[in-house]
Amino acid sequence: MDSLLLQAIKYLKQGEIVAAPTDTVYGLFGDATNDDAIQKIYRVKGRPSYNPLIVHVNGIDMAKTIGQFDNESESIANYFWNIVKKPLTIVLKLTNNNISKYVTSGLKTVALRCPYHKIAIDLISEFNGPLAAPSANTSNKLSPTSYSMVKNDIGHKIPLILDGGECNIGIESTIIDLTRKPYVISRPGGVSNEDIEAFLNTNIVFNTTNNNDNTIIAPGMLKKHYSPNLPLRINATAPQDGEAFIAFGNTNNKYDANLSAIGDLYEAAKNLFSTLSKLDNPNKYNGIAIMPIPNFGIGIGINDRIKRAAYKQK
């Protein structure tokens, strides 16, 4: 086994927490059954305790020891985790008493996800148990999609970051709550609603409402989230004085950044957080403006993130 992976497993067994890449964004991993480790995750992120964490597993067998599956939830997990290998997190009834109550914020349900990434899967498999992981950033700040983004944000607070280069997807997993009928998408993300509806062959409900900061129905859907330090202006057509400008698609002008010059929403998602991070420089700019992003497919997940990133507290 790779020596850094071995070191990571050692830390996890000791109740330490480590950052590692996944297919979506970098995660901050800790033993899901260890209260101390989980409390460390909340402390390092400055995350409110009412916002539960996703439990990461290496496949359906491990997931079955934690959540209550029926035929349909099993076929959904199998399709998205094993066949198309897309980032779908499923919320099920919790059946395992060993999962720390801090992971679920005391809820009777649990969010389960099988990341499609060798390092993340090796970590879970070698640890041989479920690992809770939020994104590896300070709460409300930009989600990290590279080793250096994690290092610059929380690197000084954790013993180890495994380097897996840039994450492929770039925005977090889509979360579907299978404990409610019809099923509810409580966070749009790296799998499009269209992909999910096509597989299920039925309509799903989208939870698009912004909850107050401490309601628990769709915890984590905070109005302000994923934010750069500079103010962000969305649906912009041109930069204003002193603003950094992020384009999308083929433009005549050369701007500070373009999420995807060919107008590819997957490429745009992959570039989103790293681009915001690169331009988030108060010495150079007084704000960041971003062009409208088409609101279909994975664009719904991108728009969710930038709307929250731009949210101004009243």
Distance of closest approach, residue 166 Cβ to ligand TXA, in angstroms: 14
Considering the complex, state which of residue 7 and residue 109 has its C-beta at the smaller distance from ligand TXA. 109
Q: Given candidates 8, 17, 44, 53, which one binds ligand TXA under the rule CB under 6 A?
A: 53
- Please name which of 139, 164, 163, 134 lies closest in space to residue 153, comparing C-alpha atoms: 139
Distance of closest approach, residue 37 Cβ to Mg ion, in angstroms: 18
Burial class of 109 by CB neighbour count within 10 A (0 to 12, 13 to 18, 19+): middle
Position 260 contacts ligand TXA (CB under 6 A): no
27 conformational bin, left if phi > 0, alpha if psi -120 to 50, beta if neither? beta
Q: Given candidates 87, 287, 299, 301, which one binds ligand TXA under the rule CB under 6 A?
A: 87
Position 173 contacts Mg ion (CB under 5 A): no
- Asked whether 245 and 160 are in contact (CB, 8 A), the reply is no
Report the sign of the C-alpha dihedral through residues 233, 236, 241, 245, in that order.
positive
Residue position matching structure tokens 């995660």: 27
Q: Given candidates 117, 141, 187, 308, which one binds ligand TXA under the rule CB under 6 A?
A: 187
Residue count, binding to ligand TXA (CB under 6 A): 29
- Please name which of 254, 178, 177 lies closest in space to residue 221, comparing C-alpha atoms: 177
Distance of closest approach, residue 115 Cβ to Mg ion, in angstroms: 14
- For residues 219 and 104, give the distance between their C-alpha atoms in angstroms, rounded to a whole number: 10
Q: Given candidates 34, 135, 179, 193, which one binds Mg ion under the rule CB under 5 A?
A: 135
Position 77 contacts ligand TXA (CB under 6 A): no
Burial class of 295 by CB neighbour count within 10 A (0 to 12, 13 to 18, 19+): exposed
Site residues (CB under 6 A) for ligand TXA, limited to 90-109: 91, 104, 107, 109
Residue position matching structure tokens 């950052």: 19
String of DSSP letters for 242-292:
TEEEEE-S--SS--SEES-TT--HHHHHHHHHHHHHHH--TTT-SEEEE--
Q: Given candidates 111, 142, 160, 300, which one binds ligand TXA under the rule CB under 6 A?
A: 111
Site residues (CB under 6 A) for ligand TXA, limited to 195-214: none
Considering the complex, state which of residue 175 and residue 309 has its C-beta at the smaller distance from ligand TXA. 175
Distance of closest approach, residue 82 Cβ to Mg ion, in angstroms: 25
Give the CB-nearest residue to ligand TXA: 220
H/E element holding 309?
Answer: helix 299-310
Q: Given candidates 58, 168, 186, 277, which one binds ligand TXA under the rule CB under 6 A?
A: 186
Considering the complex, state which of residue 97 and residue 201 has its C-beta at the smaller distance from ligand TXA. 97
Position 110 contacts ligand TXA (CB under 6 A): yes
- Interface ranges with Mg ion (CB under 5 A): 135
